[in-house]
Amino acid sequence: MGSARWKRLCLLFLIGITFSVIFYGHYYTTTDSSRLLQQETLGPAQAEIPQDVRNHSLPRESMTKRGNPTKNSSERGILNHPKEKDLLTPSLSQSDLCPHSLKSKVKVDPTMRKQFDFGIPVLMEKQHFTPETWEKLKEHKVPYGWRGLSYSAIASTVQLLNDSASGRLFSKTGLPDGCSRCAVVGNGGILNGSRQGKEIDAHDFVFRLNGAVIKGFEEDVGTKISFYGFTVNTMKNSLIAYAEYGFTQIPQGKDIRYIFIPSDLRDYIMLRSAILGTPVPDGYDKGDEPQQYFGSEASAGKFKLLHPEFVHYLTERFLRSEIINSQYGHLYMPSTGALMLLTALHTCDQVSAYGFITDNYRAFSDHYFEQEKKPLVFYANHDMLLEAELWKSLHRTGIMKLYQR
């Protein structure tokens, strides 16, 4: 009897030990697995996300200087916050959809990558006119800002740029392979006898400027016009200076868009009158009928205005001339041709430049439409040689094509 009882006690003791081992083994295995899982999903990601990226209130510059977020930070849901998602992974623009965009060449060139900023707004529109923008730009002189200009004059003009197309030059809908191909046609004598007309017209969009004489030179410069760029001053001077060559009218047409360069208050006043279809009420051009220049069709979508900050950016990054530090510094700004070409380089996928200054400019007349050869004239308000170096550099890196002969 005692022996049987002892055997039962031993059996119960062994069973108890067995269950204890199984229970505690399962418990610690589960706990360690849980801790390990937490370490893989939270630990490394938290360690790899810089402090400034975790701070939601910091500006975009702080994010981009740090680089892209790690894979682990994405897995933790960091990018689910709308603000951080916009900052760290900006949405693709239309140009990013083109497999052969000049942007791809900019990205692989260390020098050009530092110069180009495709995020800066090219065109001014109503939504840009905020109290903050006014306070900022009123500190800078034209064409880089609004110093000394009337608030009402600027506001009454910019607020009319409220068309859905005011902030963009064109739509890429229907373009082959999603790529926009642009030609920018200067007025240099290199185009005389060039026979580039058909090639120019084959582009999706063609930019022309100032004294864009076409009649009689179609074989060399083509006929297509998508954009006409100017300041009111250069437009009027061109009508006077080149009238003898047939330039008696600003290009007009249903599909032509006009790009105003804001070099003076008169550009804002003329632009407002052009949109409203009314005579210029005051200033240097008082009484002018905008229809005589741009045609009878008046709408905000037909007119574009370069953003003053864009002009400032172009000058600082690409064409900061030594003239700025001279007695003529207050007069300096990039030429109309330079501003149009750089505008195309910030909006188009592929850009070709015709009629721009090249190393052998002395071999050609100042303008292609001149019957007698005239030397290129250098004025104190532009730095044409600096522009020539820029075009050569952009051509060499393949960012644009510069017509040369």
- pLDDT, tens only, 370-399: 999 999 989 889 999 999 999 999 999 999
Q: How far apart are CA 187 and CA 242, in angstroms?
A: 11
How would you write 81-129 as a 3-class SS string? CHHHHHHHCCCCCCHHHCCCCHHHHHHHCHHHHHHCCCCCCCECCHHHC
pLDDT class of 76 with cuts at 50, 70, 90: very low
Q: What are phi and psi of 19, to 5 degrees?
A: -65, -35
Backbone phi, then psi, for 23, in 5-degree steps? -65, -50
Q: Is 329 part of a structural domain of the chain?
A: yes
Task: Please give the pLDDT value at position 7.
Answer: 53
Task: Give the tokens for residue 292.
Answer: 């005589």
Q: Tens of pLDDT along 55-64?
A: 222 232 332 2
Which residues share a beta bridge with 174? none
In a domain, 61, yes or no: no
Residue 55 lies in a domain: no
CATH no. for residue 94?
Answer: 3.90.1480.20
Say how far apart CA 155 and CA 356 lie, in whole Å. Answer: 35
- Model confidence at 298, in pLDDT bands (50, 70, 90)? confident
Q: Residue 24's pLDDT band (boundaries 50, 70, 90)?
A: very low
Alpha carbon distance 259, 227 (integer Å): 7
Which residues lie below 8 Å from residue 224, measured CB to CB, with a gap of 6+?
A: 200, 201, 203, 206
Q: What is the largest CA-CA distance in the chain?
A: 136
**d(Cα 70, Cα 337) in Å, to the nearest integer?**
44
Instruction: Give the pLDDT of residue 166.
Output: 87
pLDDT of 236 > 80? The answer is yes
Q: Does 84 fall in a domain?
A: no
Residue 282 has pLDDT above 60, yes or no: yes
Measured CA angle at 318 (ends 316, 321), to 5 deg: 70
pLDDT at 45: 31
Q: Collapse the DSSP code of 308 into the 3-class scheme (helix H, G, I; strand E, B; otherwise coil) and give the result.
A: helix
What pLDDT is stored for residue 175 in this prediction? 85
pLDDT at 145 over 90: yes
- Mean pLDDT (the chain) is 81
- Residue 96: the pLDDT is 61
Assess if residue 72 is contained within a domain. Answer: no
pLDDT digits (tens, 9 = 90+) for 124-138: 999 999 999 999 999
Confidence class of residue 152 from pLDDT cuts 50, 70 and 90? very high
Q: In what order do the strands lie in the sheet with 257-260?
A: 303-305, 257-260, 227-230, 205-209, 181-185, 350-354, 401-402
How high is the pLDDT of residue 11?
A: 54
Q: What does the alpha-carbon distance between residue 218 and residue 196 come to, in Å, rounded to a whole number?
A: 9
Cα-based distances in Å from 114 to 66, 76, 101, 317, 348: 16, 32, 17, 9, 19
Domain contains 78: no
Residue 393: which domain range? Answer: 4-43+89-402
Instruction: Assess whether pLDDT exceeds 60 at residue 365.
Output: yes
Examine residue 63 and state whether it is found in any structural domain, yes or no.
Answer: no
265 closest CA partner among 141, 402, 149, 136: 149
In this prediction, residue 300 has a pLDDT band, given cuts at 50, 70 and 90, of confident
Residue 240 forms part of a structural domain = yes
Phi, psi of 352 (to 5 degrees): -120, 135
Q: Would you mind telling me the total number of residues written for the chain in this entry?
A: 405
Residue in 113, 108, 112, 114 with CA at minimum distance from that of residue 393: 112
Q: What six digits make up the tokens of 159?
A: 């607020």
Backbone angles phi, psi at 208, to 5 degrees: -130, 170
d(CA 138, CA 135): 6
- The better pLDDT of the pair 94, 369 is held by 369
Question: Of all residues in the chain, what percent carry a pLDDT higher than 90?
Answer: 67
What are residue 184's DSSP bridge partners? 207, 353
Number of domains in the chain: 1
Provide the pLDDT for residue 8.
56
